[in-house]
């Protein structure tokens, strides 16, 4: 894009909004994550031919500059790591030719809509939408500028697509943070074989959380457990809903949920004193309030999204033909501090995350 966009990026950076909805305990800071990303980047492009093609495409665009807009729903470790991985991948490939206008919606969907409208007005070359409400806002704001989502659980649900086949088409693609939900559900019976009741807790405003809850609920009921759904509308009633769930459940399950992830301290302050363990949908929630998870690396997910962006910006790939990409190797993890506090014995195939 024109070099004038660099000036726009500098001016826009002054309006960066960063706000944390609730305190989050634990979680790996995005700045600490990059050391884990190199193997992923190598795996993503193992063939020499692919590397050469990318290099040629980038060189063909030499002299161009690119302004990339980023709309992140809320600040918490998982989304922060995805954004950092995305930025690192683009900077590694394009260097000074790429600049960013990164903004945070502080957990508010209407703010995300305003951010995306402003990014369209700036005529950015590409938008990263980090989390489902950000993706929905970006898709509503433009049908022309390429949009890559990340930290999106299910694109068909998020964009209300019928017969979704893995490729959105149009100007949208990206990466999904959906782990194998049946395997997450199986963790409940593996770690807590005596449990009879499970409470599933999530934010009612997040459609992808409901999708996960519905799948896990069926898996747990098929395993003979009694499942009750507990939803909160926003961060203000997280503690009260968690307390109700703990009073009626042997174990809680919290899916990948942005509001829950930004309020893990409030959740843990209720669940741990009550002696109720939590199986979490992702690592950040587990580090804040959970015993275990089957999780992905959000930094690596962001790197993959950034590599997709490079191909779009340099003209190597057409976004309308790019399928959604998934994290291939989820890992069983556990929180040593909470597991010890609750007296939970963890199998040897789980990895401790401090």
Q: What is the CATH number of domain 181-295+332-352?
A: 3.40.50.2300
Confidence of residue 55 (pLDDT cuts 50, 70, 90): very low
Section 252-265 average pLDDT = 94
Determine contact, residues 267/260, Cβ cutoff 8 Å: yes
pLDDT in tens, 127-179: 999 999 999 999 999 999 999 999 998 999 999 999 899 999 999 999 999 88
Helix (H) or strand (E) holding 271: helix 264-274
Cβ atoms of 88 and 303 within 8 Å: the answer is: yes
Residue-level pLDDT at 62: 62
Q: Looking at residue 63, what is its pLDDT?
A: 74
Q: Give per-residue pLDDT as tens, 78-115.
A: 899 999 999 999 999 999 999 999 999 999 999 999 99
Strand-pair partners of 268: none
Confirm whether 4-177+297-323 and 181-295+332-352 share one CATH topology.
yes
User: What does the pLDDT read at residue 76?
Assistant: 86
The residues with which 227 forms a beta bridge, in sequence order, are 198
Q: Decide: residue 177, CB within 10 A, 0-12 exposed, 13-18 middle, 19+ buried.
A: buried
What's the topology of domain 4-177+297-323?
Rossmann fold (3.40.50)
89: phi then psi, degrees, rounded to nearest 5: -65, -40
pLDDT at 328 (0 to 100): 84
What is the C-alpha separation between 189 and 216, in angstroms, rounded?
A: 12
Domains in the chain: boundaries: 4-177+297-323, 181-295+332-352
Across the chain, mean pLDDT equals: 86
pLDDT at 334 over 60: yes
Phi and psi dihedrals of 176, rounded to 5?
-115, 145
């Amino acid at each position: 894009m024109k070099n004038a966009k660099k000036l726009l990026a500098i001016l826009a950076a002054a309006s960066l909004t960063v706000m944390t909805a609730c305190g989050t305990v634990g979680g790996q800071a995005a700045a600490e994550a990059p050391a884990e990303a190199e193997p992923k980047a190598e795996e993503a492009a193992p063939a020499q031919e692919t590397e050469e093609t990318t290099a040629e495409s980038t060189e063909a665009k030499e002299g161009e500059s690119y302004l990339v807009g980023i709309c992140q729903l809320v600040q918490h470790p998982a989304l922060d790591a995805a954004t950092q991985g995305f930025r690192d991948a683009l900077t590694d490939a394009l260097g000074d030719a790429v600049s960013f206008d990164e903004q945070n919606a502080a957990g508010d969907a209407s703010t995300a809509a305003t951010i995306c409208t402003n990014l369209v007005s700036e005529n950015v070359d590409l938008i990263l939408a980090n989390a489902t409400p950000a993706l929905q806002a970006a898709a509503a704001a433009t049908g022309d500028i390429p949009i890559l989502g990340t930290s999106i659980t299910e694109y068909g649900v998020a964009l209300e697509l019928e017969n979704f086949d893995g490729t959105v088409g149009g100007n949208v693609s990206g990466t999904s943070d959906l782990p194998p939900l049946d395997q997450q559900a199986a963790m409940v019976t593996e770690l807590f074989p005596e449990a009879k009741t499970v409470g599933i807790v999530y934010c009612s405003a997040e459609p992808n959380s409901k999708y996960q809850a519905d799948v896990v609920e069926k898996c747990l009921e098929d395993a003979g457990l009694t499942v009750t759904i507990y939803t909160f509308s926003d961060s203000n009633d997280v503690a009260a809903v968690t307390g109700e769930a703990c009073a009626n459940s042997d174990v809680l399950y919290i899916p990948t949920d942005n509001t829950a992830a930004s309020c893990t301290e409030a959740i843990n302050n209720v669940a741990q004193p009550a002696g109720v363990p939590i199986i979490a949908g992702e690592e950040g929630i587990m580090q804040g309030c959970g015993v275990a998870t089957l999780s992905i690396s959000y930094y690596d997910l962001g790197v993959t999204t950034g590599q997709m962006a490079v191909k779009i910006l340099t003209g190597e790939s057409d976004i309308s033909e790019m399928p959604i990409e998934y994290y291939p190797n989820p890992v069983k993890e556990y929180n040593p501090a909470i597991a010890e506090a609750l007296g939970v014995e963890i199998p040897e195939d789980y990895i401790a995350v401090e």
